A = this chain, B = another copy of it.
Amino acid sequence: MNEKLILVTNDDGITSKGIRALIEAAKQFGKVVVVAPDKSQSAMGHAITIHNPLRVHKVDIFDDVEVAYACSGTPVDCVKLALAELLDQKPDLCVSGINHGTNASINVIYSGTMSAAMEAAMEGIPSIGFSLCNFSRSADMSASQKYAIHIIQQVLEHGITPHNLLNVNIPDLPFEAIKGIKICQQGKAHWEEEYYNRLDPMGRRYYWLTGKFVWEDEHKNSDVYALENDYVSIVPVQFDLTDYKGLDFLTQNWINI
């Protein structure tokens, strides 16, 4: 195998434990460059920075990487900037994460981790987002790291889907307790929002988002089902949001348009 160039990014920030674990995994397959947010950019979705300039600085906190940059922007900004300005050649692979917290089911929509991977995929680069189902900053990444190595190897040896994008979620279990990998579809779910509705020290009201993840179906092919049953889930993801069945609905039901 020729030496690959692998771009590593995330949304938890360049100092997180998860990106360190993913860098170690990626290094087994080639040269690694890191471009990641200089602070947490969780739940930033596919946001990009257009009203402000971006700042970038090199950091020397990882062993044996080609170069690592901390960027003031969102995860998608990191990927755009890497491809347009910071890298001399197009990466062979982009890996994002390992996220501290699940990106299964509808979370893919809000996820900076997955949006970064999607941005690279939109540029034709095979991309994988990895997420561990544990939000703690000190979460044990060892099982996730082993699965990241295994899945990167699969992609490099056997290829990736035509849309170049996989959403990998790993249950929060020791490696020995994980039963294997399931290829899945995105589970149906939604968040039941709740807000802390409180007064601040000046007596002014503020709202702070919280909520409960509500799983709507128990489809055995869904990522949520796989994770609940101690499997790693892989959902192939695409970025054509067209609702093709909806096309028929509109054509048949709307009149005089």
Asked whether, in the complex, the Cβ of A162 is within 8 Å of the Cβ of B257, the reply is no
Asked whether, in the complex, the Cβ of B46 is within 8 Å of the Cβ of A246, the reply is no
A176 within 8 A of B: no
A interface, how many residues as a size bin?
A: 35 or more
A50 to B206, CA, bound (A): 13
A175 to B21, CA, bound (A): 56
A133 within 8 A of B: no
A178 within 8 A of B: no
Known: A209-B80, A255-B158. Is A243-B193 also a contact (CB below 8 A)?
no
A10 within 8 A of B: no
A84 to B161, CA, bound (A): 38
* Chain A contact surface mostly: mixed
| Closest residue of B by beta carbon distance from A181 | B257
Q: Indicate which residue in B159, B188, B193 contacts A84 across the interface (CB closer than 8 Å).
A: B193
Asked whether, in the complex, the Cβ of A108 is within 8 Å of the Cβ of B206, the reply is no
Asked whether, in the complex, the Cβ of B247 is within 8 Å of the Cβ of A237, the reply is no
A139 within 8 A of B: no
- Stretch among A22-30, A52-60, A88-96 lining the B interface: A52-60
A93 to B236, CA, bound (A): 32
| Cβ–Cβ < 8 Å partners of A40 in chain B | 51
Known: A235-B242, A237-B242, A238-B241. Is A158-B46 also a contact (CB below 8 A)?
no
Apart from A43-B47, A106-B239, A180-B257, 13 more pairs, CB < 8 Å:
A44-B47, A46-B46, A49-B209, A53-B196, A53-B207, A54-B207, A54-B208, A85-B197, A109-B241, A150-B257, A158-B255, A183-B257, A238-B246
Q: List 18 A-B contacts (CB under 8 A).
A: A43-B47, A45-B47, A45-B76, A46-B46, A53-B196, A55-B207, A56-B207, A76-B110, A106-B239, A109-B118, A109-B122, A158-B253, A159-B253, A162-B246, A162-B249, A183-B251, A185-B247, A236-B250
